[in-house]
Amino acid sequence: MKLLERTPSERSSNQSKEPPGPTEIFINSDLQPNQSEVVLTAGSKFQLGCRGTGLVRMSTNALRVFPVGKLNSSEFVSVNPRHTGTYHCMYTNQSLSHLNTWIHLYVKDTGNPSTVFVTPRSSPTLKEDDDFLFRCLLTDPSVTNLTLQPEDRGKNLPPGMNVTLDPRRGALITNLRMSFKGRYTCSGWKNRQEFRSKPLDLLVAPRLRHPPFLFVHQVEFVRLEGESFTVTCQTRNPSHYYTVIWTHPHIQNLTIRESKLYKNGYLNINSTLTVSAVSRSHSGPYTCTALNKAGDAQATTHLSVLDHPYMMIYFSLQRADTQRLSSDQFGNFSRGLRGATAEPAPISISLEKKQGELIFNVTGSKTDRESSVNISGCRTVEVYEGGDLTITWIMEAYPPIRQHHWMTPEHVTNVGNSSVYERSYTARGYR
């Protein structure tokens, strides 16, 4: 095996290797001092170079950058005012950032006063409380007294607007407010003449501090197998940047339709979920979620799918000094549901806790959806004169009850010349 030995010159080169020095910027082969300013004339040609003892790259805040391959080349480039900016020569190794250098170029066009300031061609939409740098770059360093002004010369800056103007960077506006919306220009003076930049359209969107508003009008639904089911989630947000989705624990592909309306500074999205023909697998919670950058809001509605119709009646009595409550059997029904039963049957539906007694329960077969049931019965309650009495009937059914009414005599005279007074009240409602 042959061993290769380094030459004395190679050993000396490795032993004397020095750490890298600062990067260097050249214009037309002339080394430029770090953090210096150079004034060029529009239309002139020059070479711009960036060098170092390692891999280097150049960056700039100029509004027009040089084409790829034009830096560090022997080719001369023609400059215009939009090449104005700060040029950084830096190592690609970020640990050497303390060795980076920069120069600032002013490219002025004395024959075109409109180029004293150069600005971006578009205006961004900003958010409340952000800081914003309006890059109105000065191309002629002899222009002084730089300020930011409203485009309307008869107006002042809005109250609370704080602006710092740097000729190498532009106008920095801190802590944006909604009241800052408007058109602004950078202004400077030379020889008692004012120069203004092209106007900036400053648009400030409200910062989202809260999740979207969200509302589902009904939290419990009941359907029989084969029926359709539709529920709408209403949402509102002060900006267009939010989304609305429906989810179910076991169903992935839901049919959703959206309608949008922008009104009074808010985007309203109504998201409607539809199931054309439900089955038992469609039972369960459906959750609507509205999401923006501030967070999310949710509302859940529950669907119960039944294989048969049903009706239940609950009785609740609140009384003072009740003398007697009869134990009469309630719930004679006729012209009933085919295959109906008056025995209690389990119903897979989410119900609130009942404050009363289940006194009637009838269910039918899944084929008897158009049948009807008539129920009659009575409970007798006797109270002392002057006492208070509250009777509550809770009726729950699906399909919904079409109609109901009470038959109550206003005055009854019992044996022994005692009188019982009865009054009728309008039912407040039923499930």
Quote the tokens at residue 152: 């309307």
Residue 233 to residue 289: CA distance in whole angstroms: 9
- Local structure of 331: helix, strand or coil: coil
Q: What pLDDT sits at residue 340?
A: 40
Q: Residue 179 — very low, low, confident or very high, per pLDDT cuts 50/70/90? A: very high
Q: What pLDDT sits at residue 177?
A: 93
- Is the separation of the CB atoms in 349 and 312 below 8 Å? no
Segment 297-325 mean pLDDT: 78
Q: What pLDDT sits at residue 376?
A: 64
Nearest to 186 by CA among 204, 168, 211: 168
What is the set of domains in the chain, with CATH numbers? 21-108 (2.60.40.10), 113-205 (2.60.40.10), 213-306 (2.60.40.10), 310-421 (no CATH)
- Local structure of 14: helix, strand or coil: helix
- Of 126-135, 176-185, 253-262, 375-384, the poorest mean pLDDT is in 375-384
Q: Which amino acid is at 384?
A: Y
Q: Mean pLDDT across the chain, nearest whole number?
A: 80
Q: What pLDDT sits at residue 406?
A: 65
Segment 134-163 mean pLDDT: 95
In the numeric block, the tokens 């360093």 are attached to 141
Q: Residue 265 — very low, low, confident or very high, per pLDDT cuts 50/70/90? A: confident
pLDDT digits (tens, 9 = 90+) for 347-356: 333 333 345 6
Residue 278 to residue 11: CA distance in whole angstroms: 84
Residue 418 has pLDDT above 90, yes or no: no
Query: Mind giving me the DSSP string for 207-263?
Result: P--SPPEEEES-SEEEEETT--EEEEEEEEESSS--EEEEE-SS----EEEEEEEEE
Of the chain, the percentage scoring pLDDT greater than 90 comes to 54
User: Which residues, 6 or more positions from 8, have their beta carbon under 8 angstroms from its beta carbon?
Assistant: none
Q: Residue 305 — very low, low, confident or very high, per pLDDT cuts 50/70/90? A: very high
Q: Where are the beta strands (DSSP E) in 61-131?
A: 77-78, 85-91, 101-108, 117-118, 125-127
Q: What pLDDT sits at residue 81?
A: 95
User: Which residues, 6 or more positions from 72, have their beta carbon under 8 angstroms from its beta carbon?
Assistant: 49, 50, 51
pLDDT digits (tens, 9 = 90+) for 187-245: 999 999 999 999 999 999 888 889 999 999 999 999 999 999 999 999 999 888 899 99
pTM listed for this prediction? 0.56
Segment 57-74 mean pLDDT: 75
pLDDT digits (tens, 9 = 90+) for 284-298: 999 999 999 899 999
pLDDT digits (tens, 9 = 90+) for 359-406: 767 776 655 555 566 666 666 767 777 677 777 777 788 888 777 766
- Of 87-91, 181-185, 198-202, 370-374, the poorest mean pLDDT is in 370-374
Length of the chain: 431
